[in-house]
């Protein structure tokens, strides 16, 4: 018996049981997939990075936290549940209805728009790989990720903390216009003007599992599409 037939039979039996118990059914809306699913999804890049970095911010309790381009219905929502968070994105965001989310539209690749040393905590999760590729209406810039990273550091006060994540693989790659993918250690060569100390590194592997606070060398060399999650301190 095929899996699909097995679930259809189960659906029919449960429908008949429901009717026999006095239940009223207005229309059929069969969903078979949930018979075999887990309680929910607790895997993948966004689940792990959003929850992990939000927990760091909760623990560190910075004076002012600004986010650049991270997922609104994931990471930003996590942080906004317990503190104010200022969000910057090249795209517009309509009013969320939540006072803890404060939004400003800005292009982080435009140095003229950047105020220096304005926060002690800054995040950019699964976003910098898109800078300069035009996907989100941003101007084309082949070095957009480097320009963006430089401006991130410009915004951060000395002693401040940067949380950043992006796709990682066995080699640096550009998949136009979707995203870039980087070697796990490539970010260590992105800047030469600002002193940084890497406080922690975690990563999500190809299977979607989190490896928390490990050396960069722990990433398997055959990794195709993982996610590196970095915490830096600006010296």
User: What is the per-residue pLDDT across 17-41, written as a single tens digit (0 to 9) for each?
Assistant: 999 999 999 999 999 999 999 999 8
Picking from 11-20, 117-126, 170-179, 189-198, which range would have the lowest pLDDT averaged per residue? 189-198
Total tally of structural domains belonging to the chain: 2
Is 63 among the domain residues? yes
**Closest C-alpha to 64, from 126, 117, 124:** 117
CA distance 177 to 164: 21
* pLDDT band with cut points at 50, 70 and 90 for residue 192: confident
Q: What are phi and psi of 4, to 5 degrees?
A: -65, -40
pLDDT at 101: 98
- Residue 226 is predicted with a pLDDT of 98
Residue 9: pLDDT band with limits 50, 70, 90 = very high
Please report whether residue 224 resides in a domain.
Answer: yes
Query: What confidence score (pLDDT) does residue 4 get?
Result: 87
pLDDT at 193: 85
User: Do 9 and 59 reside in the same domain of the chain?
Assistant: no
Are 118 and 153 found together in one domain?
A: yes
Q: Are residues 126 and 12 part of one domain? A: no
Does 2 score more than 90 pLDDT?
no
> CB–CB of 68/122 below 8 Å?
yes
23 & 137 share domain: no
DSSP strand pairing (173-175 vs 156-168): unpaired
Q: pLDDT tens across 202-211, in order?
A: 999 999 999 9
113 and 13 in one domain? no
Q: Are 17 and 63 contained in the same domain?
A: no
Task: Give a yes or no: residue 40 inside a domain.
Answer: no
156 with 198, same domain: the answer is: yes
> Hey, is 182 helix, strand or coil?
strand
Does an H or E element contain 106, and which? none
Instruction: In whole angstroms, give the CA distance from residue 183 to residue 173.
Output: 9
117-153 pLDDT, tens digit each: 999 999 999 999 999 999 999 999 999 999 999 999 9
Mean pLDDT, the chain, integer = 96
Is 90 exceeded by the pLDDT of residue 3?
no
| CB-CB contact of 133 with 140 (8 Å) | yes
Name the residue among 197, 203, 227 with its Cα closest to residue 215: 203
Bridge pairing between strands 85-89 and 65-68: parallel
Determine what percent of the chain falls in helix, strand and coil, rounding each to the nearest 5: 30, 25, 45
What is the CATH classification number for the domain harbouring 68?
A: 3.40.50.150
Q: 71 and 156 in one domain?
A: yes
74 & 149 share domain: yes
Q: Same domain for 126 and 229?
A: yes
| 135/192 same-domain check | yes
Listed in sequence order, the residues at least 6 apart from 37 whose beta carbon sits closer than 8 Å to its beta carbon are none
Using CA atoms, how far apart are residues 50 and 126, in angstroms rounded to an integer? 10
Query: Is the distance from CB of 104 to CB of 160 less than 8 angstroms?
Result: no
Q: Which residues share a beta bridge with 121?
A: 65, 161
**Where in the sequence is the domain holding 18, given as residue range(s)?**
3-35
Same domain? For 99 and 25 the reply is: no
> What pLDDT was estimated at residue 228?
98
Task: Answer yes or no: is 100 within a domain.
Answer: yes
Range in 55-64, 139-148, 160-169, 189-198 with the lowest mean pLDDT: 189-198
Q: 3-state class of 41 per DSSP?
A: coil
């Amino acid at each position: 018996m095929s899996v699909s037939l097995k679930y259809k039979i189960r659906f029919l039996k449960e429908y008949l049981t429901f009717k026999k118990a006095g239940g009223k059914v207005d229309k059929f809306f069969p969903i078979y997939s949930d018979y075999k699913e887990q309680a929910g999804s607790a895997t993948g890049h966004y689940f792990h990075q959003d929850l992990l970095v939000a927990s760091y911010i909760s623990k560190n309790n910075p004076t002012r936290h600004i986010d650049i381009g991270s997922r609104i219905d994931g990471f930003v929502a996590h942080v906004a549940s317990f503190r104010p968070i200022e969000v910057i994105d090249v795209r517009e965001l309509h009013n969320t209805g939540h006072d803890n989310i404060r939004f400003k539209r800005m292009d982080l690749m435009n140095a003229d728009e950047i105020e220096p040393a304005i926060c002690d905590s800054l995040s950019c999760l699964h976003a910098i790989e898109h800078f300069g590729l035009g996907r989100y209406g941003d101007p084309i810039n082949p070095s957009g990720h480097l320009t963006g990273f430089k401006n991130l550091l410009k915004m951060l006060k000395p002693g401040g903390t940067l949380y950043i994540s992006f796709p990682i693989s066995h080699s640096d790659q550009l998949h136009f216009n979707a995203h870039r993918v980087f070697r796990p250690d490539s970010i260590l060569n992105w800047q030469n003007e600002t002193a940084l100390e890497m406080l922690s590194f975690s990563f999500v592997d190809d299977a979607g599992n989190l490896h928390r606070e490990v050396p960069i060398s722990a990433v398997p060399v055959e990794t195709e599409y993982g996610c590196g999650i970095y915490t830096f301190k600006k010296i």
